[in-house]
Every structure is written in C-alpha cells, then in structure tokens.
Structure 1
Amino acid sequence: MKKILIALMLAGTFGLTYAQSDYYNDYRRSITDVNWQTVAADLLLSVVQTNQLNALNDRYRDYDSWNRVYVSNPDRWREDRYYEIERILGREKYTKFKTKYYKGQNPVAVYNRNKNNYKKVKVQKAKVYKVNKKNGNHH
C-alpha cells in the first residue's frame, strides 16, 4: 500500500512539474519572441526605460529562480510581467507596444489563449479518433 501511495505522489509531482515547465516556457517565449532592441527604438525609449526592460527580461535567468516565485501560482507570471512592462513604458507607449507586437490584444490574454489552444488540440484529436473508431476505421 505504501508503494502505491508513493507512486501516486511521485506521479502527481511529475505532472505538476511538467505543467510548471509549460508556464515557464511561455514566460521565456514572452522574452525571446520579441526583439527588445527594436521595441526600444520603435517606442523611442529612454536609456533608463531600456535598462529597466532589460533588467525585467533578465530577472529569472533559469527555471529554478522563476519557479521559486511562481511555484504556487504559475499563471501569475503573465500579470506580473505585463504590469511591469506597462509601468516601465507608461500607458501610451504600452498601448503602442501591444498594438505592434500583440495586435492590440492584452499580452496576458495572448499567453492564456496559447495555454488553452494546446488543450483544444488535444481534445479535438481524441474526438477524431473516437469518431473514426465508431465508423470502423482504426486510423
């Protein structure tokens, strides 16, 4: 019985770790998918603003440092990060940033949608398989 309980606990831990790493990967993409030098040039950012953005982008250099902050609420990185970007840029430049790099959408919503798209694709594949199975096709 103890072995089963330990196995279940380990499975739960690995499942959580995988989910946490997905959040961290989104966090990293929020940094690497944007050319921050271009952002600074396009928005005519001051040296201070550019340095603050660079410091924000370097805040969590690895998974462990990020995870220490977001272990209990991995979703929170989005709000924290984009609140900080808005604070650094100011409302007007932040709006220009969203328009150019996120097609006017709130970046928080963009990354939430990415998370949900993965789930939808997984569900759709499962449904297609079940439909084919009913029709006698086992592809």
Structure 2
Amino acid sequence: MKKLLLTAMLVGTFGLTYAQSDYYNDYRRSITDINWASVITDLVLSQTQANQIYVLNDRYHDYNSWNRVYVNNPDRWREDRYFELERILGPDKYLKFKNKYYKGQNPVAVYNRNKNNNKKYKQGNKKVYIYKEKGNGHHH
C-alpha cells in the first residue's frame, strides 16, 4: 500500500513540474537533434559563421555550467540560444534555417510547445517522451 501511495505522489508532482534537468535536456536536444555540418553546407555559411555556431553549441559543457546561468529562469535558454543563432546567421539565413529545421516556426515556440504536450514524438527511431504541464492545450 505504501509503495502505491508513493508512486501516486511521484506521478502527481512530476505531472505538475518541469524539472530543471528537463529544460537542460531540451537544450541539449536543440544541439544534438540537428546536423550542424549540413546546416552550414545548406545555408552556405562562412567559416566565421560556422565557428560561431560551434562556439555557441559548446557554450555549456555540462549541466552544471548551464545551470549556473539558468538556475532561476530555465526557460530563458531558448530565447538566448535562438537570438544568438539569428545574430550569427543573419535574418535571411535564419529564416531558411527555421523553415527547414522547424517547419517555419520559431524554435523557441517549438521547444516551449514540447513541454506542454503529452504525446510521444518519434524522431528517427528514438522515442522522446514529453510530459504535460498544466496548459491551455491549444495546438497550432
């Protein structure tokens, strides 16, 4: 009986909170889900732009370095990261990047929506489970 109660409590709390590490995992996926070498080729980026992207991708080597910056506002990584990408790519190439890799949507919204969706996403053959926070349930 005790075990069952504990499970119910854990499920309950998990359903309501989006843990700091989940934000970090989204951040990591925003880097690992994309083949940056092909982005650089597709968008015909300069060596400088390519280097800036790699520096951006390597900015936080681990959870602790990321968490020091985002501990009080884990949501903010999206704005920071995609603002930087837009600055590096320039508005035209950033738009092409969004259209190709995010179906024209703002990547910030894509990662924001993921955390408000209680669906399984299939990316290639790896399954990504995303848990629902309280939200209004609107889909675009």
TM range (shorter): 0.7 to 0.9
SS of the equivalent of 2:116 reads: helix
> Taking CA–CA contacts closer than 8 Å with sequence separation of 6 or more, which of the two structures ends up with the larger relative contact order?
2
| TM-fit CA distance, 1:18 | 6.8
Extract unaligned runs of 5+ from structure 1.
1-14, 121-139
Q: Percent identity?
A: 78
Q: How many residues align?
A: 106
Alpha-carbon deviations, 1:52-94, whole Å to 9, x = none? 0000000001000000000000000000000000000000000
Structure 2 length as normaliser, TM-score? Answer: 0.73
Higher helix content, 1 or 2? 1
Matched, 1:90 2:90: yes
| TM-fit CA distance, 1:23 | 0.1
CA RMSD of aligned residues (A): 1.8
Higher radius of gyration, 1 or 2: 1
Structure 1 length as normaliser, TM-score? Answer: 0.73
Extract unaligned runs of 5+ from structure 2.
1-13, 118-130, 134-140
Matched, 1:30 2:43: no
Matched, 1:46 2:59: no
Amino acid of the structure 2 residue aligned with 1:116: N
Q: Which residue of 1 aligns with 2:132?
A: 119
| TM-fit CA distance, 1:20 | 0.3
